[in-house]
Amino acid sequence: MASNTMAGLVAGSHARNEMHVLHGEQRPPTRQSVAKLCRVCGDEIGVREDGELFVACHECGFPVCKPCYEYERSEGNQSCPQCNTRYKRHKGCARVTGDDEGSLDGDDFNDEFQIKNTRDQQNVFAPSENGDYNPQQWHPNRPAFSAAGSVAGKDFEGEKDMYNNDEWKDRVEKWKTRQEKKGLVSKDGGNDPGDDDEFLNQAGLAEARQPLWRKVPIPSSKISPYRIVIILRLVILAFFFRFRILTPAYDAFPLWLISVICEIWFAFSWILDQFPKWQPTNRETYLERLSMRFEREGEPNRLSPVDVFVSTVDPLKEPPIITANTVLSILALDYSVEKVSCYVSDDGASMLLFDSLAETAEFARRWVPFCKKHTIEPRAPEFYFSQKIDYLKDKVDPSFVKERRAMKREYEEFKVRINALVAKAQKKPEEGWTMQDGSPWPGNNTRDHPGMIQVYLGSEGALDVEGKELPRLVYVSREKRPGYQHHKKAGAMNALVRVSAVLTNAPFMLNLDCDHYINNSKAVREAMCFLMDPQLGKKLCYVQFPQRFDGIDRHDRYANRNVVFFDINMKGLDGIQGPVYVGTGCVFNRQALYGYDPPVSEKRPKMTCDCWPSWCSCCCGGSRKSKSKKKVHRGFLGGLYSKKKKMMGKNYSRKGSAPVFDLEEIEEGLEGYDELEKSSLMSQKNFEKRFGQSPVFITSTLMEDGGLPEGTNSTALIKEAIHVISCGYEEKTEWGKEIGWIYGSVTEDILTGFKMHCRGWKSVYCVPKRPAFKGSAPINLSDRLHQVLRWALGSVEIFLSRHCPLWYGYGGKLKWLERLAYINTIVYPFTSIPLLAYCTIPAVCLLTGKFIIPTLTNFASIWFMALFLSIIVTGVLELRWSGVSIQDWWRNEQFWVIGGVSAHLFAVFQGLLKVLFGVDTNFTVTSKAADDAEFGELYLFKWTTLLIPPTTLIILNMVGVVAGVSDAINNGYASWGPLFGKLFFAFWVIVHLYPFLKGLMGRQNRTPTIVVLWSILLASIFSLVWVRIDPFLPKQTGPVLKQCGVEC
């Protein structure tokens, strides 16, 4: 179907008549056909017993079939999803609580379960020639039911005891007739009473019509106290700042002023972080219903195809064995093989990765059938064979042990071959690499090479050992030439978008880092429960999964798991407009990446009354005649506008849902539109300016359901794919500006998701019971800080760009709480400056004997105690509804301070230098662990300048504690009272930096020489500064008596 749809666009043409075929062939369903479809389940609505179309709601006429209407009345909120009017009970429908019994006939209940005579039955299920209702009542983008689906036949067995044999027989006959009309059962033998069991089994199809997912509300007993404490904390903060501002410490005024400024910033940062978590949401999916709806036995598989992207840069830093495991887990997905394609982007043009993928493709011929035969998890061999669990659990096939042992041996041989390739790649020959046929490797110069594409597996590739097809595996290395901006990872991802659109054009795309393997083979199915939902799916730009990690120490010293963010913040965003995009583990809607707007729900037409005279109608909003003219005017333009307004980036006010006609017909109706809008709609050049000069790719962007144009061959497609990854293809286009991954920051993920949300798209956070993806994380201190530095630097770049959420996207469709969340993601690095100052203040107070807070009265101390209690209670209640452990929460708090006074601080200055003065700082690719030693890298120490600020803070506060205690001992009992407040803040800093101190010590508690030198230097400086302390001599009070030197 997709091929036929796209047959109109011819390569290389810019003329309008070429667009004629495109628009003429790609027609949405006409109103006549769509009007008979249920907007909840997609089935035909059907007719009533009198032959008229079934209308569930007589107020607005929203199209809903009878089974969905009955299900909504019995299990849902009993209201129309469009106008929220309570459904009235129709004749023949069961009563539910709340029905108005006085408005029903007395014998209506008896008619529910009676079957008409043969003539009446034929009338009931015969199609109505006038079955179309008023098209004004059809609104395709209305919100979905709170719960949708059919319950036809669901409770047959439970209801059978309620009727006698004759009544039950009549009820089954009536149900059979309905099923025959829908084509779900055969008419042969339909009158045999002994077939009741068969029809009861067919009734299970009702399950497939129910929702594919649902929201799981957090109990009010958990969320309500949480919200109350947040409000109380706001009130307490107001009184706290009133006290702090009105009672300055005059003896330490500079310290007091700095501390108040820092505290105000912390309060602002807390508000940005807290309020997007006001309405957290959990969701669950129903994979069985997905399979029953789209994978019915005896019918073609209707699940949507998926293109999977894997990105890598340097195979020496990102070991090929890790990338190979990721690819193998993709090829073994629990999904139809012809609907999965894996694209591996090699942005380093490495022959090592090229050869590794060839070995991976060969090993996949044995690994994939083994995984699917024995349904093993995970399907990445390295992690499957390293599991410390009983691998025989739930296995009943006698051949499993033998086959597993053989497969493990083959995988070890595969690893040896990959290791041999890595060893060979360590030393590059002077003449460059050569391929097996003797020709030079095109990517010998990684900065100047042509585009390369190699298809390893697929419909025309090798089969597995059982003779079955394998998913397509494609190697892609985009062209690079000197003098061109390549935009790092974002540019590589955009190249994959175009290549996949030309070769396979799946409507959905899964983005993975090379070290994130698929841990749950049903992960794509989980995403499809949202993306293929008939109502929500069209408005979703992506489905984001949480990141989970392997190889992290049990205590998670440096908060690598980032549990607080993924299990608290992301769930909070899911209740607003959706989670942010985090760079990996995300299934995209291809149309959203193309810069299109989501479908817009039309407003209900205002109700008019024919009883008003014409002069009154003019005064009250115009005559009905003028309205009808306006409707005719947009009748055949509306559909085109609703589609093309998104492509041309214009906000047209005209909307419609009519079919699209040929271009000649459209031109005849353009008299009322100015030339600018004509050219925006009709010119092929606008497509090329937006998407680039590739007719095949432009054609693919108009195919919402994916697929390839008709008549294309593999040779022509490969040639076109080489064209779309050329280094100059994106010039003078909107790639990286409005389309695809957005350029301008090293954290392109935040920008990309932000642009989609600004257009009005929604996203969904999917957290399956078995983690969908798992990856590796840098567990040693230096690599972890460099990773955080990169993220923070990207946030600073966004803050200083035109895409800053503080001023970008107003007037769009971004919700305010979602905007607060995005503001928080770009301003958090600037918290490092007040945090560094606030961590220094305790030591300065201890060394100088002054304090930022004057003597507290009993009333003032109440606000301090209330503030600390509200902070603690907020955290406890947050852990209660989220399920996060207190250890994970505490590690997150500690690393917030560690990263804040080191990586975030450097990111602020590097970002300012880069944006304001053009001084670029290259980030280092985070190394992916391939060490067999368990947690071996945890104790690996690498010197970096990021370690200087936190080391200085630790020494400074330790010296301050010693100085303060010594001074208190010297001055007696009265000086201990003021000391406790200073010591509390100093210990707060030391405790938060304790994991950093452990990282400095290493496994053997040995510290590098450079750290020792810095420590001695800083300790000496602060010891000299501490001139007030002389613990061995008592301090004198009163005048100082000295010999005057004059002889009296």
Alpha-carbon gap, residue 455 to 341, rounded angstroms: 10
66: enclosing H helix or E strand: helix 66-75
Kindly give the residue spans of alpha helices, DSSP state H, lying in 634-705. Answer: 638-647, 663-668, 675-682, 684-691, 695-701
Q: What distance in Å separates the CA atoms of residue 462 and residue 472, rounded to the nearest whole number?
A: 10
749 is catalytic: yes
Q: Which of 307, 346, 347, 967 is catalytic?
A: 347
Q: In what order do the strands lie in the sheet with 762-765?
A: 452-457, 472-477, 340-346, 306-312, 508-513, 586-589, 540-544, 762-765
3-state secondary structure 724-763: HCCCCCCCCCCECCCECCCCCCCCHHHHHHHHHHHCCCEE
- Rg of the chain (C-alpha set): 34
In Å, how far are 139, 631, 643 from 637, measured between CA atoms? Answer: 17, 10, 10
What single-letter DSSP state applies at residue 539? G
Q: Hey, what amino acid is at 837?
A: A
Asked if 533 is an active-site residue, the reply is: no
Q: Is 683 helix (H, G, I), strand (E, B) or coil?
A: coil
Q: Can you list the alpha helix ranges (DSSP code H) found in 800-918?
A: 816-827, 832-848, 858-882, 886-900, 903-917
**Cα 150 to the center of its chain, rounded Å:** 31
β-pairing, 508-513 vs 586-589, is antiparallel
Using CA atoms of 869, 874, 880, 882 in order, give the dihedral in degrees to the nearest 10.
-160
Q: Two tokens at 1033? A: 């001599």
Helices (H) then strands (E): counts for the chain: 41, 13
Choice among 550, 567, 574, 749 that is catalytic = 749
Calpha distance 233→229 (Å, rounded): 6
Q: What are phi and psi of 457, to 5 degrees?
A: -125, 170
- Kindly write down the DSSP assignment for every residue of 437-502, as one continuous string: TSPBPTTSSTTSB--EEEEEESTTS---TTS----EEEEEE--B-TT----HHHHHHHHHHHHHHH
Structure tokens at 880: 């209660």
Q: How far apart are CA 776 and CA 779, in angstroms?
A: 9
Q: Give one word for 1026, left, alpha or beta, with left for phi > 0 and alpha for psi -120 to 50.
A: beta
Kind and range of the H or E run holding 502: helix 488-503
Question: Which residue type sits at 707?
Answer: G
Beta bridge partners of 216: 282
Which of helix, strand or coil describes residue 543? strand
Identity of residue 789? L
Contacts for 980 with CB less than 8 Å, ≥ 6 apart:
none
Determine contact, residues 798/751, Cβ cutoff 8 Å: yes
What are the catalytic residues? 347, 749
